Amino acid sequence: MQQGDPIEERYKEYEERGAVIDELIYCINGYRETVISNNPKFDHIDISEKEKVLNECLEAENWVREKKQQQDSLPKYATPVLLSADIRKKAEAVDRFCKPIVTKPKPKPAKVATPETPPTPPPEGNEHQQPQQNGNGSANENAGDSGNQAPPESSEPMETDNKTEHTGSA
Whether residue 65 lies inside any domain: the answer is yes
Position with higher pLDDT, 69 vs 160: 69
Which are the contacts of 83, defined by CB distance < 8 A and separation ≥ 6?
13
DSSP characters for 76-109? Answer: TTSPPSS-HHHHHHHHHHHHHHHHHHHTPPPPP-
pLDDT on residue 101: 93
Whether residue 140 lies inside any domain: the answer is no
CB 107 within 8 A of CB 60: no
Query: Coil, helix or strand for 3?
Result: coil
Whether residue 87 lies inside any domain: the answer is yes
Whether residue 117 lies inside any domain: the answer is no
Instruction: Give pLDDT tens digits for 99-157.
Output: 999 998 887 765 544 445 455 555 554 444 544 444 444 444 444 444 444 555 554 55
pLDDT on residue 158: 55
pTM for the whole thing? 0.60
CATH number at residue 58: 1.20.1270
Instruction: Give pLDDT tens digits for 15-74.
Output: 999 999 999 999 999 999 999 998 888 889 999 999 999 999 999 999 999 999 999 999
Number of folded domains that form the chain: 1
Containing domain of residue 48, as a range? Answer: 5-107
